[in-house]
Amino acid sequence: MEENKNLPIKSWAEEDRPREKLLLKGKHALSNAELLAILIGSGSRNLSAVELCRKILNEAAQDDLNDLGKLSVKDLQKFKGIGAAKAITIVAALELGRRRQGAEIKEKILIAGSAEVFKIFSPMLIDLPHEEFWVLLMNRANKIISKEKISTGGVSGTVVDPKLIFRRALEMSASGIILCHNHPSGNPKPSQADIDLTKKLKRGGEELEISVLDHIIIAENKFFSFADEGMM
């Protein structure tokens, strides 16, 4: 496909065009750049849509879709050939993918460890530029009743009101809860404030007979579990 590098997609061999390739070979046969090229439709004067998308992935996201998801419309518009409409299309598509992965749980899932909690929350939290604090509400069998967003904050922290957490837990008749928040810095290590809050919530849960089972901190593709580290 190298010989087609700087040609418009319409000039390529049919099997090399992203749209036709998807129809002929299926969506799994396309690279990330080819999928993005379908979204934007056309490239710049000197680059095909695929080459332009490959450049965006290489230079702005280090070939990582999680990093690409962190880019704003303005960030994408820095690339020649990407106007507001194309940038908005890319951002919207990535947000749909994130929401799909983090869709509401339709069945009560049994939580057996921290890795399962990470799997539930990572699609929602790994590429956020700000902190969010969530809680999983559990029944006596350690199955999920619901997941609830408690607060949204800034880059370095978010305010958490224990009353909101336990009020929701009581409303849903939860027997246990798992706490989760993200660190946009990429460092999953808990701060002293994280440690103090966890202790405070654990004490509050004991008074209400609601077990605080774990506190997971997500930082990009890594996570820290208070339970795994013997801090609960």
User: DSSP letter string over 120-181?
Assistant: HHHHHHTT-SS-EEEEEEE-TTSBEEEEEEEEE--SS-----HHHHHHHHHHTT-SEEEEEE
Question: In this structure, are residues 214 and 229 in contact, taking their beta carbons and an 8 Å threshold?
Answer: no
Q: Give the Cα separation of 185 and 183 in Å (integer).
A: 5
**When comparing pLDDT for 99 and 178, which is higher?**
178
Question: In this structure, are residues 53 and 46 in contact, taking their beta carbons and an 8 Å threshold?
Answer: no
- Please report which confidence band the pLDDT of residue 1 belongs to, taking 50, 70 and 90 as the band edges: very low
Q: Give the Cα separation of 207 and 108 in Å (integer).
A: 26
Q: What is the pLDDT of residue 65?
A: 85
Token pair listed for 184? 């946009």
Model-level pTM? 0.60
Q: Taking 70 as the threshold, does the pLDDT of residue 104 lie above it?
A: no
Q: What is the pLDDT of residue 154?
A: 83
Start-to-end Cα distance in the chain: 55
**Average pLDDT for 62-66:** 80
**Dihedral class, residue 75 (left if φ above 0, else alpha if ψ from -120 to 50, else beta):** alpha
Decide: helix, strand or coil at residue 223: strand
Domains of the chain: 2-101 (no CATH), 114-225 (3.40.140.10)
